[in-house]
Amino acid sequence: MDAEEYFLGKRDEDLGRWRCPTDLDWVAREGLHTADGRTVVVVNERTLDRFWFNERVRDASEDVDLAHRVGRAYFEAHPERKAAGAKAGEVWELTIDDGSEHTVFVHEDRAVGGRAGVSQGGAYFDIEDSSNVVAARRVWPEDAS
């Protein structure tokens, strides 16, 4: 790795973006979680073409355009983290299979529960039995990945 690649990688990390390893003009950054799941914005830094994809881009055929392939590669390189890896003291945003979203605090007993001002709905369940969680994102401490 030369110095230019190193500093480009460092800058990408600082900005929270992922660079396509097969075409360095393309970068991606995770967008909002929607009812359709996670989203990613894919940008060609040379042309400034911009595309939004959700995880269904993984199902696209192999002969799609480069933007679709970059979106698919982003999701393959960044699988959804489920809450099963949660540690006591962390705060997570969970999307439940009914579409509801909850911000929860992980307790010492590894149960998660909402508290007034932290979570609407007062969700509380054992993190090991989180089969109804379809998406999870740690929000505190901030995730460096």
Question: Long-range contacts made by residues 82-90, C-beta under 8 angstroms, separation at least 24?
Answer: 82/130, 82/133, 82/136, 83/112, 83/127, 83/130, 83/133, 83/136, 84/127, 84/128, 84/130, 86/110, 86/112, 86/127, 86/136, 86/138, 90/138, 90/140, 90/141
CB 50 within 8 A of CB 27: no
Q: Who has greater pLDDT, 3 or 1?
A: 3
pLDDT above 90 as % of the chain = 22
Mean predicted lDDT score pLDDT of the chain: 77
Question: Long-range contacts made by residues 63-66, C-beta under 8 angstroms, separation at least 24?
Answer: 66/23, 66/26
Altogether, the residues listed in the chain come to a count of 145
pLDDT tens-place string over residues 61-95: 777 789 989 999 998 888 766 666 777 778 888 77
pLDDT tens-place string over residues 32-69: 767 677 889 999 999 999 999 888 887 777 777 899 89
- State which CATH number among 2.60.40, 2.30.29, 2.30.30, 1.10.3470 fits the domain covering 83-140: 2.30.30
Cα angle for residues 57, 41, 19 (degrees, 5° grid): 95
pLDDT band per the 50, 70, 90 thresholds, residue 100: confident
Of the segments 11-15, 35-39, 130-134, which one has the largest average pLDDT value? 11-15
Domain borders along the chain are 3-77, 83-140
**What pTM was computed for the model?**
0.57
> Quick one: pLDDT at residue 120?
42
pLDDT band per the 50, 70, 90 thresholds, residue 31: confident
Q: Who has greater pLDDT, 41 or 139?
A: 41
Q: In 3-state terms, what secondary structure has residue 16? A: coil
> Quick one: pLDDT at residue 129?
57
Q: What is the largest CA-CA distance in the chain?
A: 51
